């Protein structure tokens, strides 16, 4: 087991290197001169040249990249052009609420999605299945920002139960954003749970169980479900990227002080060091979540460990 | 010589009959999928609105009317008016063109590039395959919308760049799916026999393998259009896409959110339209998958 984990971790290194290289190149892709951007609009020739030296822009690309990597490893992500605050401080201020939001979203999405999927599979092709899958396809098609705005209109404006945004009301502030953010992934989990369970119920060992006279419930909850849920974890991991992208939009709707809103603010102020660091952060988070999912998967399914 | 011509003619007829019968077979099965069929009708209606929308909209969608600002839905403003007194119904119809042009163009570019890469990858194998698939892995390492936001951050806001961004993140998924169906088709007998008859590699790929991958590409294309509409609307909502003054559905939501609470209709209807359009593409995609690619169902 440990060997498998180490192998997976090692195989991740090249990917992380390439991803960080792409993100490093980000600043070079931007039209215009990064040194001029950093020095500001009214900077003279000398100031721009100083900024260029400070940024190391006169060095060859590979030297620049190595410098970038070594500062990454020391968690030095540069300073914001806009405020001069170290990027790492900006991120650490906002990481908490963002992670909590993602956690709540995935939590309810998993619980409700799996339940909906089970109901649909058990009542396959009957009314509950039709309704469940209609809910699921609707969930996939809903723009999360619209869902958020409709939820604000109903629960904040009309009923006055929940805050319209921000995070000053404790856990209450997380209800509507998590609802809006999790809906899409809930729907995907429901669809996948259904198809996975339907597939499992067609397997031979289920038929054996039935012929032994096991009850339908016992078969589903005792045998089929366990095996159907293993692939669901993988799907949830792959859809995590969808959640990260969605968080940018949902945070904007709810004026939520998280990393997604920081990203959008930084883009509008052309605060590129922050944009660069956040894109790297989101991608690494996505890669790590999928690594964890892979490891979990191998825990549940010993077969793949030996490949 | 004449004999040869006749043979060619016969061949062509067989070929066209084959495509025709394939389509009829598809249609016979597809017709029974009522939700998918109605979704198709809805999409055809939307396409008709793109062409003829400007002739049937009751008002000019750009003309402000300060005497009728933020009217609730009522005759003649069936969806109400916005903060400049512009008719929301007319604006939503005008927005159909933006939504469909952006998403269809982006996914078409992504599908063409992805299909070519997938065919090359699957057919040639070896290092070419490895290189292309590693490239896809790298693109997959970035969450879709984050990648799109990054691209727009580099290129600057605007619909053209939104199209580039969406096309970019659609490429790897098309490449993977076409590659895997290429790998399957490659082993089939008729490809083997074409090879043994000395057909060129180009001919084998484009004449024999590519047609077999079309159904999968069509299904995937339809499903991706829905996602593309959502992504484009999200980018516009974030202020990275369409100009906020344009009748783009996402931009309308972005402008309208300041009036939530007093004039909810101005965020409700554009969002509803995004939802219904994406829903139609998703249900259509599901229906076509059930018919064209039954093994991936359930």
Contact across the interface for A248 and B298, Cβ inside 8 Å: no
Chain B residues with at least one Cβ partner in A under 8 Å: 137-138, 141-146, 148-150, 152-154, 156, 226, 230, 233-234, 237-240, 250, 253, 257, 260-261, 264, 267-268, 271-272, 274-275, 278-279, 282-283, 286, 297-298
Give the closest of A137, A152, A286 to B283, CB-based. A137
Taking every pair of Cα atoms in chain B, the longest distance, rounded to a whole number of angstroms, is: 80
The first and second tokens of residue B221, run together, are: 């294309």
Q: What gap in Å lies between CA A41 and CA B256, rounded to an integer?
A: 34
Residue A307 pLDDT exceeds 50:
no
**Cα distance from A242 to chain B (closest Cα, Å)?**
6
Chain A hits for B223, Cβ within 8 Å: none
Interval A167-223: pLDDT, tens: 777 888 899 999 999 999 999 999 989 988 888 877 777 778 777 777 777 777 777
Q: Quick one: closest CA in B to A146, which residue? A: B271
Q: Quick one: closest CA in B to A199, which residue? A: B298
**Angle at A256 (CA atoms; ends A254, A261), nearest 5 degrees:** 105
Residue B91 pLDDT exceeds 80:
yes
Contact across the interface for A143 and B234, Cβ inside 8 Å: yes
Q: Is residue A260 within 8 Å of residue A250, measured between CB atoms?
A: yes
Interval A52-74: pLDDT, tens: 777 777 778 888 888 888 888 88
Contact across the interface for B268 and A150, Cβ inside 8 Å: yes
DSSP B71: P
Chain B hits for A245, Cβ within 8 Å: 143-146, 148-149, 234
Residue B50 pLDDT exceeds 60:
yes
Nearest to A85 by CA among A267, A247, A266: A266
> What is the mean predicted confidence (pLDDT) over B7-30?
68
Q: What is the distance in angstroms between the CA of the first residue and the CA of the last residue of chain B?
A: 53
Interval B67-89: pLDDT, tens: 777 777 877 777 777 777 788 88
Residue B26 pLDDT exceeds 70:
yes
3-state secondary structure chain A: CHHHHHHHHHHHHHHHHHHHHHHHHHHHHCCCCHHHHHHCCCCCHHHHHHHHHHHCCCCCHHHHHHHHHHHHHCCCCCECCCCCCEHHHHHHHHHHHHHHHHHHHHHHHHHHHHHHHHHHHHCCCCHHHHHHHHHHHHHHHCCHHHHHHHHHHHHHHHCCCCCCCCCCCCCHHHHHHHHHHHHHHHHHHHHHHHHHHHHHHCCHHHHHHHHCCCCHHHHHHHHHHHHHHHHHHHHHHHCHHHHHHHHHHHHHHCCCCCHHHHHHHHHHCCCHHHHHHHHHHHHHHHHHHHHHHHHHHHHHCHHHHHC
Contact across the interface for A248 and B238, Cβ inside 8 Å: yes
pTM above 0.90, yes or no: no
Q: What gap in Å lies between CA B22 and CA A60, rounded to an integer?
A: 58
**Cα distance from A276 to chain B (closest Cα, Å)?**
8
Chain B hits for A142, Cβ within 8 Å: 275, 278
Interval A268-283: pLDDT, tens: 888 888 888 999 999 9
Print burial letters for B205-214: b (CB count within 10 Å at least 16), e (below 16).
Answer: beebbbebbe
Higher pLDDT pick, A269 / A39: A269
Chain B hits for A258, Cβ within 8 Å: none
Nearest to A142 by CA among A36, A240, A249: A249
Residue A6 pLDDT exceeds 60:
yes
Q: Is residue A252 within 8 Å of residue A137, measured between CB atoms?
A: no
Q: State whether ipTM is beyond 0.95.
A: no
Interval B178-213: pLDDT, tens: 998 888 888 887 777 877 787 788 888 888 888 888
- Collect all residues with Cβ–Cβ distance below 8 Å to B18 and sequence separation of at least 6: none
Q: What gap in Å lies between CA B122 and CA B176, rounded to an integer?
A: 9
Q: What gap in Å lies between CA B89 and CA B95, rounded to an integer?
A: 10
Q: What gap in Å lies between CA B183 and CA A26, rounded to an integer?
A: 35
Q: Return the percentage of chain A with pLDDT > 70, whole number.
A: 97
Q: What gap in Å lies between CA A101 and CA A252, rounded to an integer?
A: 13
Place of tokens 């052009």: A81
Mutate to test the interface with A, among B34, B130, B225, B238 (most CBs of A within 10 A): B238
Q: Is residue B82 within 8 Å of residue B29, measured between CB atoms?
A: no
């Amino acid at each position: 087991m440990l060997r498998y984990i180490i192998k997976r971790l090692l195989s991740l290194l090249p990917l992380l290197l390439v991803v960080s290289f792409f993100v490093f190149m980000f600043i070079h892709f931007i039209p215009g001169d990064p040194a001029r951007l950093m020095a500001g609009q009214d900077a003279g020739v000398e100031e721009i040249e100083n900024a260029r030296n400070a940024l190391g822009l006169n060095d060859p690309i590979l030297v620049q990249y190595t410098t970038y990597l070594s500062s990454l490893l020391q968690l030095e992500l540069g300073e914001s052009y806009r405020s001069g605050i170290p990027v790492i401080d900006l991120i650490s201020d906002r990481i908490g609420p963002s992670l909590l939001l993602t956690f709540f979203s995935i939590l309810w999405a998993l619980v409700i999605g799996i339940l909906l999927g089970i109901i649909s599979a058990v009542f396959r092709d009957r009314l509950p299945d039709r309704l469940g899958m209609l809910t699921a396809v609707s969930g996939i098609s809903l723009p999360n920002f619209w869902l958020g705005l409709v939820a604000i209109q109903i629960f904040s404006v009309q009923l006055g139960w929940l805050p319209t945004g921000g995070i000053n009301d404790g856990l209450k502030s997380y209800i509507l954003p998590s609802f809006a953010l999790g809906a899409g992934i809930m729907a995907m989990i429901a669809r996948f749970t259904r198809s996975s369970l339907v597939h499992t119920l067609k397997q031979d060992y289920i038929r054996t169980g039935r012929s032994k006279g096991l009850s339908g419930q016992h078969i589903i909850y005792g045998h089929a479900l366990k095996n159907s849920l293993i692939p669901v974890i993988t799907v949830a991991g792959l859809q995590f990227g969808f959640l990260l992208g969605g968080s940018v939009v949902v945070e904007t709707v709810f004026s939520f002080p998280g990393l997604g809103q920081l990203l959008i603010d930084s883009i509008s102020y052309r605060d590129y060091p922050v944009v660069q660091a956040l894109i790297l952060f989101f991608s690494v988070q996505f890669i790590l979540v999928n690594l964890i999912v892979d490891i979990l998967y191998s825990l549940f399914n010993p077969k793949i460990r030996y490949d | 010589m004449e004999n040869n011509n006749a043979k060619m003619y016969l061949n062509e007829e067989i070929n066209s009959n084959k495509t025709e019968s394939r389509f009829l077979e598809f249609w016979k099965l597809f017709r029974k999928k009522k939700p998918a069929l109605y979704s198709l009708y809805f999409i055809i209606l939307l396409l008709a609105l793109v062409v003829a929308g400007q002739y049937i909209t009751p008002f000019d969608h750009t003309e402000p009317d300060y005497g009728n600002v933020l009217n609730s839905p009522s005759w003649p403003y069936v969806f109400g008016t916005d903060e400049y007194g512009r008719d929301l119904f007319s604006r939503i119809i005008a927005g159909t063109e933006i939504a469909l042009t952006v998403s269809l163009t982006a996914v078409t570019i992504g599908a063409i590039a992805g299909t070519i890469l997938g065919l090359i990858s699957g057919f040639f194998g070896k290092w070419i395959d490895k290189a292309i698939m590693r490239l896809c892995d790298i693109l997959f390492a970035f969450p879709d919308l984050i990648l799109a936001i990054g691209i727009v951050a580099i290129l600057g806001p605007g619909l053209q760049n939104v199209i580039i961004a969406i096309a970019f993140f659609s490429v790897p998924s098309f490449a993977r799916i076409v590659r895997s169906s290429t790998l399957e088709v490659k082993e089939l007998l008729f490809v083997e026999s074409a090879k043994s008859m000395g057909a060129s590699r180009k001919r084998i790929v484009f004449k024999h393998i590519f047609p077999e991958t079309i159904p999968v590409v069509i299904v995937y294309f339809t499903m991706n259009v829905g996602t593309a509409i959502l992504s484009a609307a999200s980018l516009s909502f974030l202020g990275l896409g369409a100009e906020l003054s344009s009748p783009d559905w996402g931009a309308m939501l972005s402008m309208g959110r300041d009036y939530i609470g007093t004039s909810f209709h101005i965020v409700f209807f554009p969002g509803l339209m995004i939802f219904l359009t994406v829903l139609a593409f998703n249900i259509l995609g599901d229906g076509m998958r059930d018919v064209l690619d039954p093994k991936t169902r359930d």
